[in-house]
Amino acid sequence: MLSLRAFPAVLDLGLSLAACQSVEKKAETDQVKVLSDSALVCSATAEVEKAMEQVNHLTPASTVADAEAAGASLQKALAKLDEAEAELQTSQWKEYRDQVAIYEKFVGQVRQNKTMTLEEAAKQLKAKAAPVIAAHEQLAETTVCIEVEEPTDSSDDRSRDTSKDDGPEKADS
């Protein structure tokens, strides 16, 4: 019976220890995944280039079957590249989130040290922010963000204004 009571406490302790170490370990794992996914993108890019060569070598004397095979090869290579790029993007996002979590954990530790000067805290936080900044820059290189603007077509505004003005005038006529 004693072992059943101790089990939840041991389980809780184990999960707590795993949670403390999991952020750094997870970041390491995700960094390895980013490297692996980068290699997959490079490999898929090479396959696309090879398929493009096959397409470029088509001549007027090539058969329809040759053209279809080249097209299928290119389509397959492009699909593989799209998949590899998506995997890389996902792993980069995970790595970035991990780095932010590590930084937030460190900020919590700095807050608890009431004897630390602001200068010391700033130096330590700046050093711990470097991996977050690097992960963000890496993510920004592959993420294309565009700003969507609302259409401001002046002719639409004039047509609305004109229609409002035309209403009473037409009624007077």
Q: Per-residue pLDDT for 20 more than 70?
A: no
Q: Return the structure tokens found at 5.
A: 């009571």
Q: From CA 129, how far away is CA 97, in angstroms rounded?
A: 13
Rounded Cα distance, 133 and 143, in Å: 15
Residue range 139-157, pLDDT digits in tens: 777 655 566 676 765 555 5
33 in Cβ contact with 94 (< 8 Å):
yes
Arithmetic mean of pLDDT over the chain: 78
Start-to-end CA distance of the chain, whole Å, equals 97
pTM over 0.95: no
Given a contact cutoff of 8 angstroms between Cβ atoms, the answer to whether 53 and 125 are in contact is no
Task: Please determine, for residue 164, whether its predicted confidence score (pLDDT) is greater than 60.
Answer: no
